[in-house]
Amino acid sequence: MSIHTCANDECLCYDDTILHSELVDFVKRHKREILGILKIDGENKQTHQQIELLNAKLEQTVIRLQAKDVEMRQLQQCLELKEKEQSGSHSMYKGEFREFRQEILMGNLFGDKYVIDGTKYMHKMDIRMTNKELEYTIGIETKEKKSLTLLDINKFRTDRLNNKYWGGIFVSTECGVKGFVKEKNTYKLTDNEIYIYSNDANIIGIAIGCFLHMMEEKYRKHIELDNTDTDAEYVKLEDKHNKVIEHCVVFYKKWAAMKKVHLDFDKQMLISLRDMGVPDNLFNGHLFLLPKSKCRGTKHPYNM
């Protein structure tokens, strides 16, 4: 009869056919083998954990690579549209390039919180941005026309209402929006819409970013049925972001003016040095304050 020495009823201590002394002797004789088995079992568990960790990292890497692949295909498509636009194949490519480029930019700026959809649909605006958490949609319409008609504005508002978009963004790059904005690089907020007159990506991005934040806060207040201060909170939020956008635009305009001054000074300095007979190799590696498009082939960026 074995002697019960543990609380585990599945242990060999409870096997009546094995004497306790025999069990102890067996363990003593095979101590090294038993410890080896236990060590292997522990190593197997550790190996299994490492495999699970590697699988998780592999999944993350695959997701990143897939995202990179999508981004590369988007950039390739964008480049092809740009080449077709420049070759004058068809005027429609200009609009397609602008819309596709805008879709990529919106994804880079706001893709962490919004699903960006630039699929072409009739009467659904150029781009739709759906909040990943709250699932409401913001529509974006961009116009590159020298003049806008009342029909353009009415269509934008009608499309927003018919599709039940929570908000609408109207961007005009070439002219003001009658009844909303006249001066370039300015915007106008209405209840659930923003009208922007600018061709500057930085100003447009700042205005859209603040507008999206406002719409999110307003939607959160909207779904809180017991909150009766939604309108008052929205007014405060609108005032706050109006000031933020105003300051950002002022800062950007000052920065642009500073860059222009630096450009003029840099250009005059190089011309003066060259007129003084300074050898050209002094200018190797010089950082020109101009876009790359201004310096093609053998053309000097300052026309020197």
Residue 248 lies in a domain: yes
Exposure of 266 by Cβ count < 10 A (0-12 exposed, 13-18 middle, 19+ buried)?
middle
What tens digit of pLDDT does each residue of 60-95 get?
766 776 666 666 665 666 566 556 655 655 544 455
Q: Report if residue 182 sits inside a domain.
A: yes
pLDDT value of position 69: 65
- pLDDT tens string 32-59: 776 776 666 556 666 667 667 767 776 7
95 within some domain: no
Residue 64 domain-assigned (yes or no):
no
What per-residue confidence (pLDDT) applies to 8?
63
Contact of 159 with 183, CB cutoff 8 Å:
no
Q: Could you count the other beta carbons within 10 Å of the beta carbon of residue 245?
A: 20
Over the stretch 99-148, which tens digit does the pLDDT of each residue have? 667 777 888 888 889 998 988 888 889 899 999 999 999 999 999 888 99
Residue 1 has pLDDT above 50, yes or no: no
What's the domain range around 142? 111-259
Whether 37 is covered by a domain: the verdict is no
Residue 197 falls inside a structural domain:
yes
Which of 117 and 300 is assigned the larger pLDDT? Answer: 117
What residues does 169 pair with on adjacent strands? 140, 194
Tally of domains within the chain: 1
In a domain, 178, yes or no: yes
**Per-residue exposure over 95-122, b if at least 16 CB sit within 10 Å of its own CB, e if not:** ebbbbbbbbbbbbebbeeebebbbeeee
